[in-house]
Chain A
Amino acid sequence: MISLPLLEVDSLTVDYRTRRGNIRAVNNVSFTLEKGETLGLVGESGSGKSTLGLSIIRLIPSPGVIVNGHIRIDGTDIMDLSKEKMRSIRGKKVAFVFQDPMTSLNPVKKVGAHFVELIRTHEPNVSEKEPLERAEKALTDVGILPDRINDYPHQFSGGMRQRIMIALAIALNPDLVIADEPTTALDVIVQAKILDLLKSLRNTYGMALILITHDLSIVLERCDKIIVLYAGNLVEYASSSELHRNPRHPYTQGLLKSIPNVELAQQKLEAIPGSPPNLLAPPKGCRFWPRCSFAQKKCRVEEPSVIELSSGHFVRCFGEIHNHERRHKR
């Protein structure tokens, strides 16, 4: 029996229909995620990584629309689900952790009330006391003293608030947690602690995790697979060890070169020249060519498609397509 993947994103395309024109935020992205796997979604601001994350729970902010593709959770296409059904998935099956912990909690509600609200939404018949007991357990799991359940959000620091957000995310034992830049607003020490917390919770509860970030270095060591997005396009998709050892796309190579390494004393960090394209008028051909040092004539006119180099290693680049064809002819 073939088991269905937990999450299957199939040629997903998302547009923002603005007054100034159509912005293709996510362009034909496909990937799958098995139960318990961790996936890193890496890209610069505007690369479509958050939009991709939000489309999984069908909460793309207006004027965003999914124009093409399918998202299947446990084999069910969520595009076909009613609003009611979709709501029952959010928080229960797929939980979301947002970027800014300072404003992600309702300032007028006690921490415990957030849990009561969440659990009541999905289990309306639950008793008065049970949500609070589960809240205490979830808070303990994330390293917050359970007796702080009656405190208000402003009584916690940023890192602690993010821990509370994570506790809320795991409270209903979801199959998938999507964390959208969970540590961007936090300092480096707290950042590492939060990421380690996410990882250990994943090990305890066996949930799958999508970690959305602009920082390739933090997902390299913590995720099973990595997707690199550039201007809405999937440019490379591989296991993290493969991506680290053998990056094939010039953009991924550039990102890896810009990560500082403490062991190399005389290392010179390299930045990728230029800036991401204006998505209202993306460059013709490959979206990366204006910044690519290997760009050929063909790259400027034709858009490369995604090819599978080796098992599980996908890349969207003409250079690789040629190498691939040459190898196969031989």
Chain B
Amino acid sequence: MMVIGLVIVLSMVLMTLLGPWFAPYDPTAVNVSPPPNPSPPSADFPLGTNLLGQDMLSRVLHGGSVMLQVALLSVLFCFIIGVPIGLLASYAGGLIDKIFNIVMDSFYAFPGLVLAIAVAAMMGRGVVNMALSIAVVYVPSYFRIVRSQVLTIKELPYTEAARATGAKGRTVLLRYILPNVVPSIVVVATVNFADAILTAAGLTFVGLGVGIDVPDWGWDLTQGRQLLPSGSWWVITFPGFMIALLALGFTLIGEGLSELLNPRLEQ
């Protein structure tokens, strides 16, 4: 399972890195194929062309870059924001913990995509802004995981033993609790990659992605939807398939990792 996921994700990354050398055309050049456009897959254009006469194969080869960047950045943001506040709130306990809990729970009250769209609309286009608006949606799940883990671990004898040897609160938190929380966060992060990719596709779909001058699967999806009723299935199918495949890859890695790190789930 995890191996299949790894193969999928790594080949996607490779494809995005090496794609530009293999792409037969400039992915943003219009009318590389003579009209009428969109034209179905043919020998010259194996995946067909879109309404603007752009080569779909070139666009598919280039288009993963935005998705991967957004996913990576958003998971990174989640890590940077969710983990420290989860650690602090749960270790401090009391009022601080309560306040953070209420704030985080209130994020859950919004449907994820709607919240991401709202934040993205506020911040404008661009990879970083997309990543940030996705991070806003997923920070609470990091917070929750970290919090529940810290609450368990801080009662374990080895943290008590650490305190009994004169360790400071900070040392206990960073050297004894955090390293034992990391495996759970890694699992959440990999599963989160898949969600981030789908949310990123959703954001592009409603026009909050990057500009049209950058090849992007999400953008092609938007275009393809308009063309689908007229029978041009190829414009939406190939980028859509790539997004689904990438999300599947990350999900498989995440599940594999969680089985590896929490062996109890296997039973």
A interface residues, Cβ below 8 angstroms from B: 57, 59, 87-92, 95-96, 98-100, 103-109, 117-118, 121-122, 165, 168
Contacts and interface: CB of A to CB of B under 8 A. Distances in A.
Given A106-B176, A106-B180, A117-B175, A165 B161 contact: yes
Nearest to A171: B165
Given A106-B180, A108-B180, A168 B158 contact: no
A319 to B, nearest CB: 39
Interface in B179-232: 179-180
Given A100-B157, A104-B157, A104-B161, A117 B167 contact: yes
Given A100-B157, A106-B158, 17 more contacts: A90-B166, A91-B165, A95-B164, A96-B164, A98-B157, A103-B157, A104-B161, A106-B179, A106-B180, A108-B179, A109-B175, A117-B167, A118-B165, A121-B165, A121-B166, A121-B167, A121-B168
Interface in B131-181: 156-158, 160-168, 171, 175-176, 179-180
Nearest to A165: B161
Nearest to A98: B157
A278 B147 CA distance: 33
B180 A91 contact: no
A104 B161 CA distance: 6
Nearest to A122: B166
Contacts of B162: 106, 117
A92 B167 CA distance: 11
A53 to B, nearest CB: 10
B128 to A, nearest CB: 33
11 contacts: A91-B165, A92-B166, A95-B165, A96-B161, A96-B164, A98-B157, A105-B158, A106-B176, A107-B158, A108-B180, A117-B162
A155 to B, nearest CB: 16
Contacts of B176: 106
A57 B167 CA distance: 13
Interface residues of B, number: 17
Contacts of B163: 59, 90
Given A108-B179, A108-B180, A103 B158 contact: yes
A95 B163 CA distance: 11
Given A107-B180, A117-B175, A121-B171, A90 B165 contact: yes
B167 to A, nearest CB: 6
A36 B245 CA distance: 69
B180 A88 contact: no
Nearest to B161: A104
Nearest to A107: B180
A90 B157 contact: no
A57 B162 CA distance: 13
B87 to A, nearest CB: 16
Contacts of B180: 106-108
A91 B171 contact: no
B166 A98 contact: no
Nearest to A94: B164
Nearest to B165: A91
Closest 7 interchain pairs by CB?
A91-B165, A90-B166, A96-B164, A91-B166, A87-B166, A108-B179, A104-B157
A108 B159 CA distance: 12
B89 to A, nearest CB: 17
Contacts of A89: 166
Contacts of A108: 179-180
A173 B156 CA distance: 25
Contacts of A118: 165
B167 A59 contact: no
- Among B160, B161, B175, the one with the most A-chain Cβ atoms within 10 Å of its Cβ is B161
Contact of A98 (B160, B167, B168, B171): B160
A275 B168 CA distance: 40
A87 B161 CA distance: 12
Contacts of A88: 166
A262 B171 CA distance: 50
Nearest to B175: A117
Contacts of B157: 98-100, 103-104
Contacts of B158: 103-107
Contacts of A90: 163-166
